[in-house]
Structure 1
Amino acid sequence: MAALFEKLLSMSAAAGWMVLAVVVLRLALCRAPKWTRCWLWALVGVRLVLPVSLKSPLSLVPRSPVEVGAVLPEAPAALPQQLPQGVGGYPAAAADAPAAGPELMTVLSWLWLAGVLLLLGYALFSVIRLRRRVAEAVLLEGRIWQCDRVDTPFILGVLRPKIYLPSDLPPAALEPVLAHESAHLARRDHWWKPLGFLLLAVYWFHPLVWLAYGLFCRDLELACDERVVRRLDGAGRKAYSQALLTCSAERRVLAACPLAFGEGNVKGRIRAALRYRKPAFWLVLAAAAACIVAAVCFLTDPVRHPTLEWAQNLTAEQVASAELVVMPQSQDKQYKQFSTEEIPAVVALLNESRGRPAGESESLNGQSIWFYLTLTDGTRHEVGNMGNVYLVIDGDYYDGPYDWLSTWDDAYGAGASPLPEGYFDPALTLEDVLKLSEKGEGLTWGDLEGFSYTEAGSGLYIRIYSIDSRYSLWVGGAGPSGSIMYANLNCAYFGESVDIRTGDTAAFVEEQEKRWNRTAELFAAIAVSPAVSSSPGDYLNAHPEEHQALLDGGTDTLCYIFTQFLAGGQTGLEGHLMRLVLDELAPEARLKLEADTGQEYFDAWRETAEGVLEEHGAEWMEENQPAMWLMLQMQRAEP
């Protein structure tokens, strides 16, 4: 139910722009044939029932007219700041904490359903009451009936519609009334009005849908009047207007049916009937063109550009590292590694990304500024400014605004050091490592040529090949002209390694992935429920088996926790859960401090570990603070 309501919210938001467009077009095309307005309202109906999103570069619908999350409290995954006392040192939370997003959405969905049933019940009650009033009607001819208990002519019925006339209808009004009601039947208005009311019942929460239904009913009557009066002379139009005045009915606030002759804007209808002029041909063409334009621009949604949206929604917490490359530039200013403090400014710049997709880029001679970002999930992205003309995001070219691209040069037009050797060489992949392992002890330095690496060590020649956030290959020996002494594939997960020349590399990787996935699945299962709690301790208590499995995992669980925290960005619910499990697995290292996020707690925990090492030394720490010692070893193993 909640998912259906969310879908309707999204559809109604997009349809709202269509309603506004039709309201404007009604005013602009006030002299055009009235039937064209009905076509415009038909487009609104299509927009309201269209479950799929049609994409068009000409769409004028804003990309995100309404986000459900913008009107609801944040979901529990982004844990509230106040958490219960007694669980990891968090301050107490109010016992009557407000319900989180999913619960509120469920309440709203049931409220929506109640509104739908109320309106449909009202329509059903109205039809039943009207049928009782006409139960004693007398057949005049065909589908025309006469009744003493009705005040104005109308059509009742969908599949077998009947025209009902009041018994006291003046003879002079009979012909205009029958012409009008027959026009309704010919236009199938006895189908369209109930369908419009059904859409109103479904979207009753949207004020623009109420406006649309009111104007739609009015335009149905105007279009029907126009169909009749265009065949009448001056005297006939006066007689028709007099019939409208004679049969005018009390205005109803809401009506699903019937199609009543004297209902709805009688004064405006009389004025339109008396002033009717055959519309010029160009007005018909203009109205048809307006319908086509409205369909193209408002029945469709903007084409999504995933790379552009990624840049616009990037957060500093998602970025593990960022590098700058500027070309052409003097050799000592081609490269820069950004510090943690500088990353937010880079992300803020990329959040301003905008521009239209460029079909084919031109060769440019100007300067290019490139950001290379490695995210906490291990993925790597590139964002570049080519000559203040193109914005390039992961290979997609956009015609960026010059006034924005030109500002890049002031802050990022130069680096701080030369470009590292082999910087643009392809990174080694895990698949490459598995192939290299097949060479066994015949592996040579030449087999590793062409892959990017960094150098480390003194005396012994060591190359470190970064594979992703999970693995790195450390190769050591006397130098490229000599033999390889070892080629260790290190796993950051659990601090273990295998020499790819002599060990079973495939089995090693499979085992590491299995252990990692097992721990990740346990944390994911715990984070699912209870959905409305603001305490991470409640999540652990709700999953005692998974909780115990994490504690039984011991070192494996600690390695998973440290890997995640060292990558950074653990500011949500899982960060709080990992903090609690860390304190249980390493009670001797527990800190008595309050922290808004698990990441903030771990950062303080890591600083404490570094201080302990400096004060007591490695031997004491390994014996008395094994968890902190493990974390520092994993931190130092990072390339």
Structure 2
Amino acid sequence: MAACAIDRVGAPRLRPHLRHGLWTLVAVRMLLALVPPGLLDGPWRGPGLVAIDAGALPLSGGSLPGLSNWWWLVAWAAGAGLLAARWTIAGLRARRRQRPLPLADGCHDHLERDGRLDAIARRVGLRRVPAVYIDAATDAPYVTGLFKPRLVLPRGWQGWPADTLNHALGHELRHVARRDLLAEACWMLLTLIYWFHPLAHAARRRAHESREMCCDADLAARCGPAYRAALLRVVASTFGEMPSAAEVPGRHGWHPAIARLHALNRWPAPASRRHRVAAGLVLVALGAVLLPLHVGVVRTEPAAVPVEALLDPVTRQERVMGSLHLRYAVLAAASEPK
């Protein structure tokens, strides 16, 4: 919740890479919450552990120990299974639609002309160009595949202007170079685990938006104003005009391309070394606040009393006297006039 509040309030003032670092801290924090408290004990986590005596945890009337926990586990597994099945079916359908780039009709020559794809890959920091596929059911390029990435082009990509195609390819290849596919897989796993929590789905969407803006910032730093102009043409072709920031929520809704364009307009120049150092210090401070926040409940068994102590007359007398004192105190409190 703290990260969502920071992102919502400070989104216009945070650089894309700082937002991405914030949501990376959230992902690490969600992973740490799955680790048993005893494995991460340390001086910095001592005050966060609460010890509860096992005898102080009463059972509700008519309930069996552990039965309710099994019902909760079954409900969680059912929800996670449904979400995983939904994602799996969608991924298989998209995989079935993808076809390798045809070589006979000149499409491959059009893409490989003058080593265009290799040059774009080197510019964005990618050594190996992924395989290129066609998906006729989409209107925008994307990358998929965790271990063997695929660059998927939409229908009609041959008619795109050369600069628009180059910038779109550079944006998608930058995702591969930044290991964003691995980050998305981690967020999908976390969303499966925390499927019942609405903030988990919101955090995944915000993390995806931050990765898109990071790729935009990297391409704008490498290509200059031409990349911003290409993104502006995409937004204008989508809406027929370029809406202003005030008109977006009421007329068109918050389209991701518009949010990315406004982020580029706010941060047109790459971050300086001083800004990068300041952003790193801010992330360290946020990590020091967010990561240790954990309260674990440790059940402690009552200490065993030796049989000799129970048979000792002195010990038995002390127990009896203590019980009598407690009974007298209760009777005295009940007899006081109200």
* TM-score after normalising by structure 1: 0.37
| 1:216 to partner: Cα distance | 0.7
Q: Which amino acid aligns with 1:42?
A: T
Q: Which amino acid aligns with 1:129?
A: R
Question: How far apart in 1 are the matches of 2:17 and 2:48?
Answer: 31
Question: How far apart in 2 are the matches of 1:115 and 1:302?
Answer: 25
Q: Which amino acid aligns with 2:154?
A: P
The 1:147–1:40 alpha-carbon spacing in structure 2 relative to 1, beyond 3 Å, is same
Matched, 1:299 2:291: yes
Question: How far apart in 2 are the matches of 1:195 and 1:152?
Answer: 24
Equivalent residue number for residue 68 of structure 2: 104
Matched, 1:183 2:174: yes
Question: How far apart in 2 are the matches of 1:56 and 1:40?
Answer: 25
Equivalent residue number for residue 87 of structure 2: 123
| 1:377 to partner: Cα distance | 7.4
| 1:273 to partner: Cα distance | 2.7
| 1:301 to partner: Cα distance | 4.4
Question: How far apart in 2 are the matches of 1:246 and 1:118?
Answer: 37
Q: Of 141, 161, 164, which residue of structure 1 is paired with 2:152?
A: 164
Q: Is the 8 A contact 2:134 2:153 kept in 1?
A: yes
**Matches for 1:407-418 after TM superposition, within 5 Å:** none
Equivalent residue number for residue 142 of structure 2: 154
Matched, 1:287 2:265: no
Question: How far apart in 2 are the matches of 1:470 and 1:160?
Answer: 69
| 1:79 to partner: Cα distance | 6.2
Equivalent residue number for residue 209 of structure 1: 200
Aligned residue for 2:267, secondary structure, equals: coil
Equivalent residue number for residue 39 of structure 1: 21
Equivalent residue number for residue 53 of structure 1: 40
The 1:49–1:30 alpha-carbon spacing in structure 2 relative to 1, beyond 3 Å, is same
Q: Is the 8 A contact 1:22 1:40 kept in 2?
A: no
Deviations along 1:549-589, one digit per CA (max 9) or x if unpaired, are xxxxxxxxxxxxxx9777649xxxxxxxxxxxxxxxxxxxx
Q: Of 176, 192, 215, which residue of structure 1 is paired with 2:183?
A: 192
Deviations along 1:401-432, one digit per CA (max 9) or x if unpaired, are xxxxxxxxxxxxxxxxxxxxxxxxxxxxx9xx
| 1:189 to partner: Cα distance | 0.6
User: Please, what is the CA RMSD of the aligned residues?
Assistant: 4.3
Deviations along 1:74-123, one digit per CA (max 9) or x if unpaired, are 96x4564xxxxxxxxxxxxxxxx5x4563222211110111111111111
| 1:154 to partner: Cα distance | 0.9
Task: Look at both structures and tell me which one has the larger radius of gyration over its CA atoms.
Answer: 1
Q: Which amino acid aligns with 2:133?
A: W
Equivalent residue number for residue 409 of structure 1: none
Q: Is the 8 A contact 2:3 2:23 kept in 1?
A: no
Aligned residue for 1:230, secondary structure, equals: helix
Deviations along 1:170-228, one digit per CA (max 9) or x if unpaired, are 42221111010011111011111121011101111222222211211111111111111
| 1:135 to partner: Cα distance | 3.7
Question: How far apart in 2 are the matches of 1:271 and 1:201?
Answer: 32
Aligned residue for 1:158, secondary structure, equals: coil
Q: Of 240, 255, 264, which residue of structure 2 is paired with 1:273?
A: 264
The 1:265–1:565 alpha-carbon spacing in structure 2 relative to 1, beyond 3 Å, is farther
The 1:20–1:56 alpha-carbon spacing in structure 2 relative to 1, beyond 3 Å, is farther
**How many pairs were matched up?**
274
Question: How far apart in 2 are the matches of 1:264 and 1:193?
Answer: 20
Question: How far apart in 2 are the matches of 1:282 and 1:116?
Answer: 44
Q: Is the 8 A contact 1:146 1:166 kept in 2?
A: yes
| 1:378 to partner: Cα distance | 10
Question: How far apart in 1 are the matches of 2:295 and 2:68?
Answer: 31
Aligned residue for 2:40, secondary structure, equals: coil
Q: Which amino acid aligns with 2:160?
A: P
| 1:145 to partner: Cα distance | 2.5
Q: Which amino acid aligns with 1:124?
A: T
The 1:63–1:174 alpha-carbon spacing in structure 2 relative to 1, beyond 3 Å, is same
* Structure 2 unaligned regions, length at least 5: 113-128, 240-253, 332-338
**Matches for 1:245-260 after TM superposition, within 5 Å:** 246=237
Of structures 1 and 2, the one with the larger relative CO (CA 8 A, separation 6+) is 2
**Matches for 1:448-597 after TM superposition, within 5 Å:** 470=310, 490=313, 492=315, 568=323
Question: How far apart in 1 are the matches of 2:49 and 2:201?
Answer: 22
Higher strand share: 1
| 1:231 to partner: Cα distance | 2.4
The 1:144–1:273 alpha-carbon spacing in structure 2 relative to 1, beyond 3 Å, is farther
Q: Of 231, 238, 252, which residue of structure 2 is paired with 1:240?
A: 231
Question: How far apart in 2 are the matches of 1:190 and 1:245?
Answer: 28
The 1:241–1:100 alpha-carbon spacing in structure 2 relative to 1, beyond 3 Å, is farther
Deviations along 1:240-294, one digit per CA (max 9) or x if unpaired, are 332355579xxxxxxxxxxxxxx96121112223443223544323321121112
Question: How far apart in 2 are the matches of 1:246 and 1:182?
Answer: 23
Identity %: 22
**Matches for 1:51-90 after TM superposition, within 5 Å:** 51=35, 52-53=39-40, 55=42, 57=44, 63=48, 77-78=58-59, 80=61
Q: Is the 8 A contact 2:134 2:154 kept in 1?
A: yes
Higher helix share: 2
Q: Is the 8 A contact 1:145 1:162 kept in 2?
A: yes
Q: Is the 8 A contact 1:38 1:216 kept in 2?
A: yes
The 1:231–1:247 alpha-carbon spacing in structure 2 relative to 1, beyond 3 Å, is farther
The 1:135–1:145 alpha-carbon spacing in structure 2 relative to 1, beyond 3 Å, is closer
Equivalent residue number for residue 242 of structure 2: none
Question: How far apart in 1 are the matches of 2:47 and 2:83?
Answer: 31
Question: How far apart in 2 are the matches of 1:183 and 1:32?
Answer: 21
Aligned residue for 1:205, secondary structure, equals: coil
Question: How far apart in 1 are the matches of 2:142 and 2:92?
Answer: 15
The 1:470–1:36 alpha-carbon spacing in structure 2 relative to 1, beyond 3 Å, is same
Question: How far apart in 1 are the matches of 2:42 and 2:178?
Answer: 32
| 1:33 to partner: Cα distance | 3.1
* TM-score after normalising by structure 2: 0.66
Deviations along 1:347-375, one digit per CA (max 9) or x if unpaired, are xxxxxxxxxxxxxxxxxxxxxxxxxxxxx
Q: Is the 8 A contact 2:141 2:168 kept in 1?
A: yes
Q: Is the 8 A contact 2:49 2:295 kept in 1?
A: no
The 1:247–1:130 alpha-carbon spacing in structure 2 relative to 1, beyond 3 Å, is farther
Q: Is the 8 A contact 1:56 1:296 kept in 2?
A: no
Q: Which amino acid aligns with 1:45?
A: A
Q: Is the 8 A contact 1:152 1:247 kept in 2?
A: no
Question: How far apart in 2 are the matches of 1:235 and 1:79?
Answer: 67
